[in-house]
């Protein structure tokens, strides 16, 4: 695989993780915990695949500068900064949330999941937005 295809792969993995997160949330709201568990484990695996591809890409290419000027540049950096800060929290939050669920500590799982879910979803969605702004528009 050509390293320059990895941004599109990363965006696809981010979008997939986002869809899986919403799907998993829907299943737990419908009281389907076994399906929720499978979907959330899949979201976690997809996010791990994303992280591996992301690290490979940036180890090879480095930082990619944003070329556009004007108001859109401020919009891009606002999204990028919030995305980057929150993205740094997702692995820790996801691991703690997953670990509590696998240990069947559902009271503590729910307590942290209410924070993990929106942050992880935001990071997944804004990851796609950053890709589109940097590479497509």
The rounded distance, in Å, linking the Cα atoms of 87 and 110 is 20
Average pLDDT for 60-80: 97
pLDDT in tens, 17-56: 999 999 999 999 999 999 999 999 999 999 999 999 999 9
Domains of the chain, start order = 3-136 (1.20.120.80)
Neighbours of 123 (CB within 10 A): 25
What separation in angstroms does the CA of 30 have from each of 20, 34, 137? 15, 11, 38
- The answer to whether 57 and 14 are in contact (CB under 8 A) is no
pLDDT in tens, 124-134: 999 999 999 99
Q: DSSP assignment, residue 133?
A: I
pLDDT in tens, 111-127: 999 999 999 999 999 99
pLDDT band at 5 (very low <50, low <70, confident <90, very high): very high
Confidence (pTM): 0.96
| Residue 110 Cα to chain centre, angstroms | 19
């Amino acid at each position: 695989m050509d390293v320059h295809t990895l941004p599109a792969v990363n965006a696809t993995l981010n979008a997939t993780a986002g869809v899986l997160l919403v799907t998993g949330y829907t299943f737990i709201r419908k009281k389907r915990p076994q399906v929720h568990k499978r979907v959330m484990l899949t979201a976690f695996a997809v996010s791990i695949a994303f992280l591996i591809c992301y690290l490979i890409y940036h180890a090879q290419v480095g930082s990619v500068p944003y070329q556009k000027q004007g108001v859109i540049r401020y919009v891009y950096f606002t999204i990028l900064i919030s995305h980057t800060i929150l993205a740094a929290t997702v692995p820790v939050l996801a691991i703690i949330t997953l670990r509590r669920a696998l240990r069947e500590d559902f009271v503590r799982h729910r307590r942290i999941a209410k924070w993990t879910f929106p942050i992880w979803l935001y990071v997944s969605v804004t990851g796609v937005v950053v890709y589109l702004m940097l590479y497509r528009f």
